[in-house]
């Protein structure tokens, strides 16, 4: 009795996949190590941001392990970060999040980069009940699923747009016409919509509002149209690669305005390096800046200490993305230490109820899962360096007009 | 001993039914994915294998089904109903589009079918209010535990795959199937011989859209989040073609075999060679085309024993 | 004023688009193969120019012929070695083969160069020219002019040189050409090589204007399709017209429908053309 070749082939293929499963089950956690999973965009359009996140996580893990690890009850357990590269491709981020949970058996998860990917992957965390800290998700749309396992360290987008709009109204009352160009992606679009709201609330006239597709390389059309609309305030949203392109192509077409705001980009050194003199007087906002002066109960002890440590280790200034990653670790650590156990339910409660004094500011997660407990700084590039304009207690310079 | 060849497929069927009870979630996830591709590959076969029209529209049907199903569920339509309605919508769409593009031949048809997905993707990307645009669509997550969910989606995908294969078998033996094969051999002659080429092609094209649409709708519920770039990914058009070619285009069992083997290879590659995964896939495709263009089931070595599974020998 | 600038934007880009599409059109017209690799070949040319610039200081505009030459060698080798085995096979086979080859090339590039964006930054920047109310960035202007010169050069090559006439002959009637003593296989390889040359040259020109990454290759492929169908296969003037038309269409499309729809217009147009006039605006003619 022989098997027909088709059936043989079919059985062979099942055998093949049974083998792959055996391979899968062989990666188990070492005893006494806390595994934290973090899918990162290490290649692709978001690679610069992915690298920043990795640096933040690594620095935190290093600091924690220097002290022996996280205190869980009476023991100290070292921390191990588990990374996978999702190549800036959101579905892959979701797949890898699931792989980290089911295959690598991580204890906790950090979200992938950005609001869009965070929201996508949060469904996985919720399914499996794994507390997940989102270090880079500020749009309230990310949290509208009422998930219990997602905790976002960024304050919502309106906390970025309101201070800037206020600043413009006070210092440049002649500004009347606003042009907005947004990347068609969750966070940049949500942020742009918030800007529209903040501008309109102050009686400004939004004369242009368009979206550009993810991966757009040529913004000439949009810039031409903006030029025709004669705006006083230009707002562009996207990620660092987009912002560099837009700023350069604006100069290609001689597009100028009294106020130009770009988020996310100018707060990063890479933007300043790539655009040179074009960066001057561009305004931006972020959730943290090295000028911050918080003292904290986390492993870093203070903002200054974190900044110095980062500078010594990586030879560059830390930006808000790296800091955000490090504080995600710090917050998780404090929650585990409060809970005294690695049990996911107990840690989840600790995260939900806690008020964490970190080097990033006080972080307390609201009922929807995101923090609204500190003031994000507004920055402007002056003389090739970012200076803080708001909040007043760390203000470094006055607002300048004209880009 | 005449029925000996049935043992293999029978064993496979038993395994398929037993899997939810013996496998863990991860295995079920892989199996669900495999079944999805069985459905996609078998469906492509109706228009690509039987009729010989190289359709690259599978991704368009899949993505549209995913969005239709996802949006309906978002608006509160119960899951299974949403799936079925999505299937109907996409089939109607395919019939309409098919009438327009099936007049083209060869390269032009291929490109036209490929571009449909792009147009749909851009349109959906732009309709931010309804579809979420670039922000993606979150399909409501079911409030049941993970294991039951895994089993549920496995069962759903299994159903779609079975339907696709059964349709393939029925088509194969039917008059329409015969007509399609005539079209594949020589369309002009077939027309002259009285075959209703336009009608048959449209039927095949519409049929080739149903199961990808259903699979897409199930997929959207399964992964709970879709965005335009992902749902209309060209690989959803390409992989089923490769699977059908691997197993043998124009046969009923070919796409099934091709789907399983290709997926097993892919899983092994993805797990171990993440960074060269696409390149290795490309290499497999190239080797396949150069050395095995007729597919496994039609290969000389296997041919004498394949007779029962090949109703119409090439 | 606005319309003038929009038109200028379109024309500037259109010239470059012609260069992007002409190689693709040639291969399709002569070998009857849709070369899915085309987009990646453009990117490879762009990388070659980028590295020549950052490591050797060669200006990408001057590097154009070298980029083309490198890609010619690659293209010739690919056709003679691999693609030649499926000449005459069905659309499905050839399309899938070039798709597979493209996957390999893309992965190789991602591994070698990382998928991050690279940008050639000319220092000092080339600046802009103002003509009335319209602004022409110099880098785009030079790129357009060079692109059109290259396409015109190809046209001349096909009309006047022996090998050019051989290519046209193969295109018109393969068997007759063979009977006349043309080595068809070699012509196929040369043609594919020339297609790759034009792709590499286009990539080199583009490296000044846009960031480079293996992930963007599929966009160029899409544009090449549209231009070929717009302008008609087998016609170099058609490709020029098609390229400029696409540039203008995208520019005005962005104006009327928003920047995020500019590529949709191209695809919708493609579909409409395929349904009603697949031979394109200029129709199908020999390469003359």
pLDDT, position C16? 92
Distance from CA of A218 to the nearest CA of C (A): 7
Specify the pLDDT at position B295: 78
Percent of chain C beyond pLDDT 70?
95
More confident residue, A282 or C260: A282
A84-107 mean pLDDT: 86
| A211 to C260: CB separation less than 8 angstroms, yes or no | yes
> How many other C-beta atoms are found inside a 10 Å radius of the C-beta of residue B188?
9
pLDDT for A21: 47
At A350, which helix (H) or strand (E)? helix A344-353
Pick from C211, C219, C251: CB nearest A245: C211
Compute φ and ψ for A295, nearest 5 degrees: -100, 150
Any chain A CB within 8 A of the CB of C207? no
Between chains, do C2 and A252 touch, taking CB under 8 Å as contact? no
Instruction: Place A12 in a pLDDT band, splitting at 50, 70 and 90.
Output: low
Residue with token string 């293999």: B8
Q: Do A5 and B267 touch (CB under 8 A)?
A: no
3-class SS string, B185-199:
HCHHHHHHCCCCHHH
For the segment B131-164, what is each residue's pLDDT rounded down to a tens digit? 877 777 888 777 777 778 888 999 999 999 999 9
Mean pLDDT by 10 residues, chain B (314 residues): 66 79 76 93 94 93 96 91 95 93 86 89 84 79 79 92 94 91 88 88 94 96 85 90 89 90 82 76 88 75 49 42
Q: Tell me the nearest-neighbour CA distance from B189 into chain A, angstroms.
A: 34
Q: Is it true that the peptide bond before B83 is cis, omega within 30 degrees of 0?
A: no
The predicted pLDDT at position C232 comes to: 77
Peptide bond into A391 cis (omega under 30): yes
Identify which of C34, C96, C271 has the shortest CB distance to residue B285. C96
How many CA within 13 A on the CB side of residue B99?
A: 5
Residue A348's SS3 state is: helix
The interface predicted TM-score (ipTM) is 0.83
Residue A27: predicted pLDDT? 41
User: Whole-angstrom Cα distance, residue A341 to residue A73?
Assistant: 6
C279 falls in which pLDDT band (50, 70, 90)? low
E runs forming strands in C97-243? 128-131, 134-137
CB contact under 8 A, A45 and C137: no
With cut-offs at 50, 70 and 90, classify the pLDDT of residue A380. Answer: very high
Nearest to B257 among A6, A90, A128 (CB): A6
- What pLDDT does residue B11 have? 78
Closest-CA residue of chain A to C248? A221
Which residue in C has a C-alpha nearest to residue A253's C-alpha?
Answer: C135
Q: Which of A10, A20, A185 minimises the CB distance to B271? A: A20
Is there a contact between A339 and A347 (Cβ–Cβ < 8 Å)?
yes
A152-210: pLDDT as tens digits: 999 998 899 999 999 999 998 999 999 999 998 888 988 999 999 999 999 999 999 99
Inter-chain touch B118–C96, beta carbons under 8 Å? no
Question: A32 by DSSP, 3-state: which?
Answer: coil
Q: Which positions in chain A touch C211 (Cβ < 8 Å)?
A: 217, 241, 245
Residue C132, Cα to own-chain centre: how many angstroms?
31
Nearest to B25 by CA among B178, B152, B213, B184: B152
Q: Do A257 and A229 meet the contact criterion of CB atoms below 8 Å apart?
A: no
Q: Is C30 exposed, middle or buried (0-12, 13-18, 19+ CB in 10 A)?
A: buried
State yes or no: pLDDT of A8 exceeds 70: no
Tell me: pLDDT of C233 over 50: yes
For chain A, list residues whose CB is within 8 angstroms of any CB belonging to chain C. 43-45, 47-48, 87-88, 181, 184, 210-213, 215-222, 224-225, 227-228, 241, 244-245, 252-254, 274
Residues in B touching C271 (Cβ below 8 Å) = 101, 112, 115-116, 119
pLDDT of residue C193 exceeding 50, the answer is yes
Which of C100, C214, C226, C278 has the highest number of chain B CBs within 10 A, making it the mutation to test binding with B? C100
pLDDT band per the 50, 70, 90 thresholds, residue A26: very low
Q: Please give the helix or strand (H or E) that residue C243 lies within, else none.
A: helix C236-257
Chain B residues whose C-beta is within 8 A of a chain C C-beta are 48, 52, 54, 100-101, 103-104, 106-108, 110-112, 115-116, 118-119, 122-123, 125-126, 234, 238, 241-242, 245, 249, 275-286, 288-290, 293
Which of A44, A212, A221, A226 to mutate to test binding with chain C, by most C CBs within 10 Å of its CB?
A221
Whole-number pLDDT of residue A9: 54
Interface test with C, best of B129, B286, B288 (most C CBs within 10 A): B286
- CB of C32 less than 8 A from some CB of B: yes
Residue ranges per structural domain of chain B: 24-234
pLDDT tens profile C138-177? 889 999 999 999 999 999 999 899 999 999 888 888 888 8
Q: How many C-beta atoms surround the C-beta of residue A183 within 10 A?
A: 25
CB contact under 8 A, A13 and B229: no
Burial C112-142 (b: 16+ CB within 10 A, else e): ebebbbbbbeeeeeeebeeeeebbbbebbbb
SS3 string, C135-158, reads EEEHHHHHHHHHHHHHHHHHHHHH
Pick the residue of A1, A4, A82 with the most B CBs within 10 A to test the interface with B by mutation.
A4
Q: Is C13 in the A-facing interface, judged by CB distances under 8 Å?
A: yes
Residues B221-234: pLDDT tens digits? 988 888 888 899 88
- CB contacts, 8 Å: A10 with chain B: 8-9, 12, 256-257, 260
Contact residues, chain B, for C264 at CB < 8 Å? 118-119, 122-123, 126
Q: Does the beta-carbon distance from B286 to C101 stay under 8 Å?
A: yes
**Subunit partners of chain C (3 or more CB pairs within 8 A):** A, B
Kindly report the average pLDDT of chain A as a whole number.
87
Residue with tokens 């949060």: A122
Calculate the alpha carbon distances from B272 to A83, B265, B266 in Å.
15, 11, 10
User: Would the CB atoms of A189 and B11 count as touching at under 8 Å?
Assistant: no
Task: Spell out which residues of chain C touch residue A211, defining contact as CB-CB under 8 Å.
Answer: 258-260
What pLDDT was estimated at residue A194?
A: 93
pLDDT on residue A20:
47
Counted across chains B and C, CB pairs separated by less than 8 A come out at: 122
Chain A neighbours, 3+ Cβ pairs < 8 A = B, C
Could you please report the per-residue DSSP string of A174-198? T--EEEEEEESSHHHHHHHHHHHHH
Q: From chain A, pick out residues whose CB is under 8 angstroms from the CB of C255.
A: 221, 224-225
Interchain contact, C95 vs B116, CB within 8 Å: no
pLDDT of residue B44: 96
Judge whether A363 and A373 are in contact, CB under 8 Å.
yes
Check: CB of residue C266 under 8 Å from CB of residue C249: yes
User: What pLDDT, on a 0 to 100 scale, did the predictor assign at position B309?
Assistant: 46
Secondary structure class of A39 (helix, strand, coil): strand
Q: Which helix (H) or strand (E) holds B254?
A: helix B253-272
DSSP letter at B142 equals P
C84 contact A CB<8A: no
DSSP A25: T
Q: What's the predicted TM-score (pTM) here? A: 0.84
Alpha-carbon torsion (B245, B251, B252, B257), positive or negative? negative
Question: Tokens 């808000």 correspond to what residue?
Answer: A320
Give whole-number Cα distances, C164 to A242, C21, C26, C148, C153, in Å: 43, 18, 11, 19, 11
Query: Chain C contacts of A220, Cβ < 8 Å?
Result: 9, 13, 251
Q: Which tokens hold the place of B183? A: 């079209």
Q: Using an 8 Å CB-CB cutoff, list chain C residues near B280.
A: 107
CB contact under 8 A, A221 and C259: yes
Question: Do residue B101 and residue C267 have CB atoms under 8 angstroms apart?
Answer: no
Instruction: Identify the band that residue A5 occupies on the pLDDT scale cut at 50, 70 and 90.
Output: low
Contacts of A75 (CB under 8 A, 6+ apart): A32
Residue B308: its H or E element: none
The answer to whether the CB of C39 falls within 8 A of the CB of C218 is yes
Q: Do A225 and C2 touch (CB under 8 A)?
A: yes
Among the partner-chain residues B104, B280, B283, the one whose CB lies closest to the CB of C278 is B104
Report CB contact under 8 Å: A218, C13. yes
């Amino acid at each position: 009795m022989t098997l027909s070749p088709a059936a043989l082939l079919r059985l062979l293929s099942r055998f093949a996949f049974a083998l792959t499963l055996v391979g899968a089950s062989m990666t188990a956690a070492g005893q006494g190590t806390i595994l934290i999973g973090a899918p990162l965009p290490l290649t692709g359009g978001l690679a610069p941001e992915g690298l920043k996140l990795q640096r933040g996580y690594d620095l935190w893990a290093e600091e924690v392990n220097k002290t022996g690890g996280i205190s869980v009850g009476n023991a100290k357990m070292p921390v191990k970060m588990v990374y996978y590269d999702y190549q800036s491709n959101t579905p892959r981020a979701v797949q890898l999040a699931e792989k980290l949970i089911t295959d690598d058996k991580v204890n906790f998860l950090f979200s992938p980069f950005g609001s869009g990917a965070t929201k996508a992957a949060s469904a996985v965390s919720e399914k499996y009940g794994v507390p997940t800290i989102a270090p880079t998700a500020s749009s309230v749309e990310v949290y509208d699923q009422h998930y219990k396992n997602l905790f976002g360290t960024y304050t919502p987008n309106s906390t970025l747009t309101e201070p800037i709009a206020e600043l413009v109204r006070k210092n440049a009352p002649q500004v009347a016409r606003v042009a907005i160009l947004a990347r068609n992606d969750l966070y940049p679009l949500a942020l742009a919509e918030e800007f529209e709201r903040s501008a309109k609330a102050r009686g400004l006239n939004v004369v242009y509002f368009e979206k550009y597709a993810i991966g757009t390389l040529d913004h000439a059309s949009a810039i031409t149209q903006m030029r025709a609309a004669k705006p006083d305030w230009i707002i562009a949203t996207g990620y660092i690669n987009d912002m560099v392109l837009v700023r350069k192509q604006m100069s290609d077409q001689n597009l100028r305005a009294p106020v130009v705001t770009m988020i996310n980009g100018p707060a990063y050194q890479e933007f300043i390096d790539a655009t040179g003199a074009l960066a001057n007087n561009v305004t931006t906002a972020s959730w943290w800046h090295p000028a911050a002066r918080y003292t904290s109960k986390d492993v870093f002890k203070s903002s200054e200490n974190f900044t110095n440590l980062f500078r010594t280790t990586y030879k560059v200034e830390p930006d808000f993305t790296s800091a955000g990653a490090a504080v995600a670790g710090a917050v998780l650590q404090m929650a585990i230490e409060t809970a005294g156990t690695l049990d996911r339910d107990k840690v989840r409660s600790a995260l939900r109820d806690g008020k964490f004094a970190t080097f990033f500011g006080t972080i307390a997660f609201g009922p929807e899962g995101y923090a609204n407990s500190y003031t994000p700084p507004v920055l402007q590039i002056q003389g090739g360096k970012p200076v803080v304009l708001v909040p007043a207690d760390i203000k470094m310079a006055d607002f300048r007009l004209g880009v | 001993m005449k029925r000996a060849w049935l043992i293999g497929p029978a064993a496979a069927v038993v395994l398929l039914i037993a899997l939810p009870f013996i496998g863990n979630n991860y295995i079920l996830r892989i199996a669900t994915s495999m079944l999805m591709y069985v459905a996609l590959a078998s469906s492509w076969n109706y228009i690509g294998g039987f009729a010989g029209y190289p359709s690259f529209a599978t991704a368009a049907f899949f993505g549209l089904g995913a969005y239709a199903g996802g949006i309906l569920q978002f608006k509160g339509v119960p899951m299974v109903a949403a799936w079925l309605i999505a299937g109907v919508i996409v089939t109607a769409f395919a019939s309409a589009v098919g009438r327009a593009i099936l007049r083209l031949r060869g390269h032009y048809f291929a490109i036209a079918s490929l571009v449909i997905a792009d147009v749909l993707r851009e349109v959906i990307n732009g309709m931010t209010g309804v579809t979420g645009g670039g922000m993606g669509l979150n399909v409501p997550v079911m409030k049941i535990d993970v294991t039951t969910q895994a089993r549920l989606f496995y069962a759903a995908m299994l159903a779609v795959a079975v339907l696709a294969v059964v349709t393939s078998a029925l088509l194969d033996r039917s008059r329409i199937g015969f007509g399609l094969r005539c079209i594949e051999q020589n369309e002009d002659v077939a027309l002259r011989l009285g075959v209703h080429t336009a009608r048959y092609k449209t039927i095949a094209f519409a049929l080739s859209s149903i199961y990808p649409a259903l699979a897409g709708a199930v997929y959207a519920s399964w992964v709970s989040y879709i965005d335009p770039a992902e749902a209309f990914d060209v690989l959803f058009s390409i992989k089923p073609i490769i699977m059908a070619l691997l197993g043998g285009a124009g046969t009923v069992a070919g796409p099934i075999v091709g789907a399983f083997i290709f997926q097993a290879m892919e899983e092994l590659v993805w797990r171990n060679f993440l960074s060269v995964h696409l390149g290795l896939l490309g290499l497999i495709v190239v080797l396949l085309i150069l050395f095995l263009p007729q597919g496994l089931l039609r290969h000389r070595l296997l041919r004498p024993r394949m007779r029962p599974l090949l109703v119409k020998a090439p | 004023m606005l319309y003038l600038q929009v038109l200028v934007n379109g024309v500037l880009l259109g010239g470059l688009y012609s260069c992007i599409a002409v190689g693709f059109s040639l291969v399709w017209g002569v070998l009857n193969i849709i070369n899915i690799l085309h987009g990646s070949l453009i990117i490879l040319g762009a990388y070659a120019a980028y590295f020549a610039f950052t490591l050797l200081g060669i200006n990408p505009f001057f590097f154009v012929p070298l980029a083309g030459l490198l890609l010619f060698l690659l293209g010739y080798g690919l056709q003679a070695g691999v693609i030649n085995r499926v000449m005459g096979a069905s659309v499905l086979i050839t399309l899938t083969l070039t798709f597979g080859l493209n996957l390999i090339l893309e992965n190789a590039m991602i591994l070698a160069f990382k998928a991050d964006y690279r940008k050639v930054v000319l220092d000092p920047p080339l600046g802009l020219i103002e003509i009335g109310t319209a602004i022409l960035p110099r880098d785009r202007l030079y790129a357009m002019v060079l692109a059109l010169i290259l396409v015109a050069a190809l046209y001349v090559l096909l009309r006047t040189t022996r090998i050019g006439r051989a290519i046209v002959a193969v295109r018109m009637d393969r068997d007759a050409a063979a009977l006349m003593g043309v080595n068809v296989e070699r012509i196929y390889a040369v043609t594919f090589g020339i297609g790759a040359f034009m792709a590499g040259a286009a990539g080199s020109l583009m490296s000044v204007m846009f960031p480079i990454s293996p992930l963007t290759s599929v966009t160029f492929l899409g544009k090449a399709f549209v231009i070929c169908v717009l302008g008609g296969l087998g016609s170099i003037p058609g490709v020029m017209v098609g390229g400029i038309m696409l540039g203008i269409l995208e520019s005005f499309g962005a104006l009327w429908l928003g920047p995020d729809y500019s590529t949709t217009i191209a695809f919708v147009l493609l579909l409409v053309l395929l349904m009603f006039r697949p031979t394109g605006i200029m129709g199908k003619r020999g390469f003359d």
